[in-house]
Amino acid sequence: MKRLFLTIIMGLMLTIVGCCSANDNSKVSICVGSNISYVQDDGTVYCVRAGQPAITLGENVKDVVGEWDELILLCNDGTVMIYDPYTGDKLTSEYCYDKAINSPGTGDRVMAAYADVCAFFEENKKVDDIIFYSPDVFMAKVNGEWIGPACEWFLDVDFNQARKFVGSNPNEPDFLLNDDGSIICLSGYYHDVKGLLGDDKKYKDVDESFETFFLGEDSKIYAQKDTVALDWENVEQISVYAYNVVGVDKAGNVLLENETSRHYEEVSTWKDVIYVEYAGDFIIGVDKAGNILATKEAVERFSLDLENLPKVRVSR
């Protein structure tokens, strides 16, 4: 019953903001949701939280993944550290099991889920890569092979070229995007998108909230039923919230579907952007110099001093 309630809560979160768990952008490592966390040049993770002072987590960090409740830090030596972004506590399976037993309410359900995640990484101490979708659906590359709960969920899927999971249900992602641009449908969604799938169909990106949008190698954006959704050109990355899409083109301009949106005037002034995230009622971007860009809702919610924020580490 506890895990069922956790599933319902996390499903609502993923539906509202989309899954921010997996970051497949090779130039930056950033998580955006109830907090904004990113890898800095010094190899630590800077975590900005609403209503609380910012904190710095970890060291020698290669990548940060996670979702609303916890952050997972993959270090350059292959070790994995898991933190609660609200308290700054480093989590272990023992810590999480104790909290699950002694913290009534939603907290015990979250801790119970992450106790299993911690136990997995305590057993697997040398990790090359992580694809994280939810505490129930994630996997790690260990000794060149993907292992973990996701591999057990989808026994017939070849994960050799896996890049990220996409979906809004925490127990069942709808799609897997591979490094070669191919997409595997993992759910009953196939009948809606079968015209978009196949050996000859390749994609740069895919994202989903209330609707799924596919960014083709031709830089066109497709929606369900094999239709061209937008006439944008030279698009490099997309992010979706509800039925809204934000994108970045090769020139570093931000593209927003709805020109009447309250965000349009702000993001249309951003330049040299390499990453963008539509996270509910705000949009976050990163430019090629590593500066954080944010719409006013994010600035107000997180009390952001954009001119003095530490820079995001950018891979050249």
Which strands make up the sheet holding 162-166, listed edge to edge? 162-166, 175-178, 183-185
Note whether residue 118 is domain-resident: yes
Note whether residue 314 is domain-resident: no
pLDDT, residue 169, reads 80
Cβ neighbourhood burial of 187 (10 Å; 0-12, 13-18, 19+): exposed
pTM: 0.87
pLDDT, residue 283, reads 95
Per-residue pLDDT of the chain (316 residues; tens, 9 = 90+): 333 333 433 443 343 333 444 445 558 999 998 899 999 999 999 999 998 999 999 999 999 998 767 999 999 999 999 999 988 999 999 999 988 888 766 567 778 889 999 999 999 999 999 999 999 999 999 999 999 999 999 989 999 999 999 987 877 899 999 999 999 888 876 666 767 777 778 999 999 888 888 999 988 888 865 555 677 889 999 998 887 889 999 999 999 876 667 788 899 999 999 999 998 889 999 999 999 999 999 999 999 999 999 999 998 6
Question: Could you tell me the CATH number of the domain that includes residue 51?
Answer: 2.130.10
Spatial separation of the C-alpha atoms in residues 278 and 243, rounded to whole Å: 11
Q: State the first-to-last Cα distance of the chain, in angstroms, to the nearest integer.
A: 47
Note whether residue 205 is domain-resident: yes
Spatial separation of the C-alpha atoms in residues 124 and 80, rounded to whole Å: 9
Cβ count near 191 (within 10 Å)? 9
pLDDT, residue 16, reads 36
Note whether residue 218 is domain-resident: yes
Note whether residue 277 is domain-resident: yes
Spatial separation of the C-alpha atoms in residues 74 and 128, rounded to whole Å: 8
Give φ, ψ of 221 to 5 degrees.
-105, 125
Inter-residue contact 61 to 73 (CB < 8 Å): yes
Where in the sequence is the domain holding 92, given as residue range(s)?
2-308
Spatial separation of the C-alpha atoms in residues 215 and 220, rounded to whole Å: 6
Inter-residue contact 288 to 272 (CB < 8 Å): yes
Closest CA to 21 of 57, 61, 68: 68
Note whether residue 315 is domain-resident: no
Note whether residue 99 is domain-resident: yes
Tally of domains in the chain: 1
pLDDT, residue 3, reads 37
Q: CA quadruple 184, 16, 39, 148: dihedral positive or negative? A: negative
Note whether residue 313 is domain-resident: no
